[in-house]
Structure 1
């Protein structure tokens, strides 16, 4: 990355974080734009791409199988540093991309057009791109059209910040849930009353979509959330945090009571039956439960605790409830939510992996990477923006997440 880009990277990531868009569910408003892009330019692939510290993640994609890929070789990572659309008529004729793994391998990009998604402050947080497997030209008026569509994406992102309800499930949007959580957390701290949080993740949901199609997957989400809503109080907040991940906020509820609620929700989901041509479909869910205590300084700390308990439930076999204190991370401390670019360094500095630091304290951190396979139990974490270099010990690992303690 050029020196000027390195200097602005923390500000760019902060701008991306304000939209709270990463790892959110598909939304028709964005899918409509990638479909239009594909039809208007007659290309087989189009994505709305967002770039965090270690990956390109697709908010919407058509003609592309992966939902995310590493940031390093991403053509979109070059495009976000441009002030106008990046047009590459033939990647085999451009020395920057001649040996690119996405050019020589799947999805075999030969033509690329990416219009940067630029925030009002001037930060490039991602792209709207059109791609083809064969070279092609791109006229000036086509560049203008792609740029206009990218501006529509940014308008949708701004509108999404105001959205309160998830259209499919009727639960609170992630932003609305966080706003409700912030108010409840402040009240609980001020008046010293109980507050608990439950993280919910439907088990093996990807296989449901793969085997039965997204229409059935949507029915599963709607039915599972409806079953949960029947078991919750009107005072409880219920929000969709990701594709099949949800959160429940329980005011005036102790950890023991929250565990009982989680068990009721687990049983309710397990009783759901979705009719399909091949017979009734049954699903299960895993639950992580955490309660406010003296060591939790903010709502993100409470969410992180519940999330860690959720990962433990999944690791232990799914379809179960786990509480935070049974999976407590040594030297956890109070972590603050961040979005920072990091580097995992090992083998004496000869090997490294990009990561995104999602929460951080003086004693520990939570990291997201593309793949945890091959990461050693101890390594050095570098955060260039903070001038941080710390030796780490992995204390929890699941999917694309690492929880580490500094040693």
Structure 2
């Protein structure tokens, strides 16, 4: 167990790590007290106690043991190998079983992050690697037996499935077992006195003769077994891969050589198949991400210029959601075929994962743009799935080496930034990287970091914009509006940061702070004006937070009837299909849902069918045009009438003058707000307003 590592076993652990894309793989042997790592990749310990070894559990079952997340498994969550180095979160292991049925160890895969369970294909591949390991160890076992007791040769050879040959270097073959006859097709009588070199393919003659010469020249080689790979040749001329283990000894002052020859055709094919799996994306048959990165690193190290095109599909998620993952897989194969057709002269094409592809070209950046445009058109070609046409688009980012980066990582990052610009430009186009993209990205990252610090250091404040009854002009409520008190740039409006914040997980933390701060303040004000309402804008992540209804109940003493939650119509359209139960639970707290920016797009009319929607706020872009466009006035009046017919509260925002206010009143809007009626105020200023603005704002 404590012998030096075998190069062959090390190669198998490296192959396993590459095939399954895990940072750690190892082959262990185990006795009653300890686990020994016979070969390992990504692990710098040699042994552990059996009492803490995952492999102890693996050996207790007949099949593969797979633990997707050790933190969720009571058997392992307190294990020192989980809590400390090597910090195991994912584990998969298969027992190593000898032909006699002895369980001697395991082949294991480990990751520091949780992973999905192994699928059926993964299990077959892991079993194949375990078989290869046992093959290697069986050969090792036979070599040890030969080395320790040459006198047992006859007994072993008569039952061995491997060809065993003994030769006198001067007289030729002196021993030939039955398995050698089965392997090569020659009888013992035919081979006696012949030389083994005649059984070796021409392409392996040099290796074979060099090994014999080494044994003749090196006296120490007589007692040291050696193993080489050659190509053998059968009687019918067929060649096959063989593993030859050499050993030597002296008899009557003559040097003899023994050979154990094993046909490793199955292993050779299995290793080739596993290497192919590690370098190919098995769905599209394009190169895998790891193989592609190896190629890029090879080109950059050699100083060979190239152009990299990164492609991302537009609309792929919708295909998966509407037609299922089988349709998505078929579509990815269709796109891969278009890449093969359009980019037939490329150096390599690969699927990075999901719906991302990358193509390596020898052409310049501008020539690559022409290829990119042709590929975009090809991808847009309708694809038929079960009789229905499926159409997606593609956006592409292009970067060149060495102009845009001198190593693989830099060029990939440049292409990714160019792809980001292509998608931001409206999708369905290609963009060549420009140096300014990097500076803009760095500025964006710095701003994101500032934003993160602002959330953690509570640099945000709330302003409150008054809302008035459209008929009486009385103060009815306020809208809580977020402001960033930036330490260097002063007070920032949401337009400067809201888009970045909407995509960040920090929005959940900040959204809770807004709710707590606004409701605490308004509850206090309602002691002076009990009819006061508050409108609060929600971030998308808040609607997916199962705590939102409980939080509303906690902050309003289980009566949130004075709270209106404003949700942008585009955001509501996407979320209502994904988490409909969340809206019902929140509505039960008494809070109302208001569709914000209603009328800015044409996609929100179907939202009015949901009972949890209790109001709509007509977008200020329509309010601003009331005096100038008769068509806008008709649209405004129609939207208000639609809301009223459904017994909804109708709000008009952006009311800046008497004409707009009068029209909103005539259109039967319930509430109006705008800077001319009342600008957003600090809490202190709004509180001072309460006694005065409980009457008409113009009085």
TM-score range, shorter chain: 0.3 to 0.5
With the length of structure 1 as denominator, give the TM-score of the two structures.
0.48
Higher strand share: 1
Structure of higher RCO (CA pairs closer than 8 Å, 6+ residues apart) = 1
Higher helix share: 2
